[in-house]
Copies of this chain bind each other. A is one copy, B any other.
């Protein structure tokens, strides 16, 4: 029996993608060679990375708009560093950051090595359980940085501040899940291991014209202009993670793209949040208007029911439901590839707990 996989990341991928990936590890493209033992410069792999790059731009509606799509090494944590390296002026550099959780805080920490960081908004006062609104971004900063979805706390930005300067967004955990005007962003980055593929590669979408203006000597591997010039092949790319990302992006396109998956994601989230609000045994962790469509966090009102509830959902084949170690409780991650049937099984588990308790 295939598990109902609510893992927060690395996370569930489409079953057909997993099957294609496994096949390619044995024999790729009918070459009688494994995907992972051929040259990254072979025409077969170049076709893969080019397709992954163009699918990413196409799905985001950013084709022919002056953006490049790169598949880089290093995870989103590397982009915490590449952002200031590529955008913050060498002399008198300033940037504005929103602090909406653990990952924002890590991005801020790295940026501080490069210049003055202005924390324009923070939800740290309430353990990151909401998204700050009504703040202003100073005009003189080199860029504004935000995190669109906070996997650990379970909040999500529904609106983005209007800002005339450069906007950088870490979309690691909700990219390709909902429609946005992506052309309002100058850099979007996302580790692959949520809605795209396995861990080991990071998608970076960057507006070409914003680069090369800091006065810094940037090490090659950290320089977006180098990666753009080398068509994302400055060094040997992470072949397998990029191949699986390409397959997942193709799967999403075949499904109808972001517009289609957004409907499904909204339906999944509504199903679960409705039960969280209805069921007297549970409560949600976050402000209702800021609830993430990707990661629903909730807790048992009576913690003594934990073992009973855990045994119910484990028996039903649910995996990965425990909250992040820094928050506790439960976290249901409902990424693109999670079927609504799995959410229904979780709702069933919550209702089964209610029935069990009422019988006692």
Closest to A76 in B: B235
A18 interface neighbour in B36, B39, B80, Cβ under 8 Å: B36
- A109 located at the interface, meaning its Cβ lies under 8 Å from any Cβ of chain B in the complex: yes
- A75 located at the interface, meaning its Cβ lies under 8 Å from any Cβ of chain B in the complex: yes
A39 interface neighbour in B8, B219, B222, Cβ under 8 Å: B8
Closest to A32 in B: B3
Interface of A is mostly: loop
Q: Closest Cβ of chain B: how far from A333's Cβ, in Å?
A: 10
Interface string of A8-51 (1 = CB under 8 A from B): 11111100001101110110000111101111100000000000
- A200 located at the interface, meaning its Cβ lies under 8 Å from any Cβ of chain B in the complex: yes
- A86 located at the interface, meaning its Cβ lies under 8 Å from any Cβ of chain B in the complex: no
Closest to A242 in B: B200
Are the CB atoms of B38 and A10 closer together than 8 Å?
yes
Which of A191-199, A256-264, A285-293, A307-315 binds B? Answer: A191-199
Are the CB atoms of A26 and B18 closer together than 8 Å?
yes
Are the CB atoms of B10 and A81 closer together than 8 Å?
no
Are the CB atoms of B25 and A11 closer together than 8 Å?
no
Chain B residue contacts of A18, Cβ below 8 A = 25-26, 34, 36-37
Q: Closest Cβ of chain B: how far from A230's Cβ, in Å?
A: 11
- A7 located at the interface, meaning its Cβ lies under 8 Å from any Cβ of chain B in the complex: yes
Are the CB atoms of B238 and A200 closer together than 8 Å?
yes
Chain B residue contacts of A305, Cβ below 8 A = none
A75 to B359, CA, bound (A): 58
A110 interface neighbour in B22, B76, B220, Cβ under 8 Å: B220
Q: Closest Cβ of chain B: how far from A105's Cβ, in Å?
A: 12
- A154 located at the interface, meaning its Cβ lies under 8 Å from any Cβ of chain B in the complex: no
Within 8 A of B (CB), among A75-93: 75-78, 80-81
Chain B residue contacts of A3, Cβ below 8 A = 31-33
Are the CB atoms of B34 and A221 closer together than 8 Å?
no
Chain B residue contacts of A200, Cβ below 8 A = 73, 200-201, 237-241
Q: Closest Cβ of chain B: how far from A42's Cβ, in Å?
A: 8
Within 8 A of B (CB), among A195-252: 197-201, 217, 219-222, 234-241, 244
A73 interface neighbour in B9, B25, B73, Cβ under 8 Å: B73
A112 to B240, CA, bound (A): 33
Known A-B contacts A200-B238, A240-B240; the reply to A75 vs B73 at CB < 8 A is yes
- Please name 30 pairs of A and B residues whose Cβ atoms are closer than 8 Å in the assembled complex, sorted by A: A2-B33, A3-B31, A3-B33, A9-B39, A10-B36, A10-B40, A11-B37, A12-B37, A18-B25, A22-B22, A22-B25, A25-B25, A36-B197, A36-B199, A38-B320, A73-B74, A73-B200, A74-B78, A74-B235, A76-B235, A77-B221, A80-B221, A81-B219, A191-B236, A198-B240, A199-B239, A200-B201, A238-B238, A240-B240, A241-B241
Given contacts A36-B199, A37-B198, A80-B220, 18 further A-B contacts (CB under 8 A): A3-B33, A5-B37, A9-B236, A10-B36, A11-B37, A18-B37, A25-B25, A32-B317, A33-B319, A73-B74, A73-B200, A77-B234, A78-B221, A106-B220, A110-B221, A113-B219, A199-B240, A200-B240
Give me the 5 closest cross-chain CB pairs, A-B, nearest first.
Answer: A200-B238, A36-B198, A77-B235, A22-B25, A73-B74
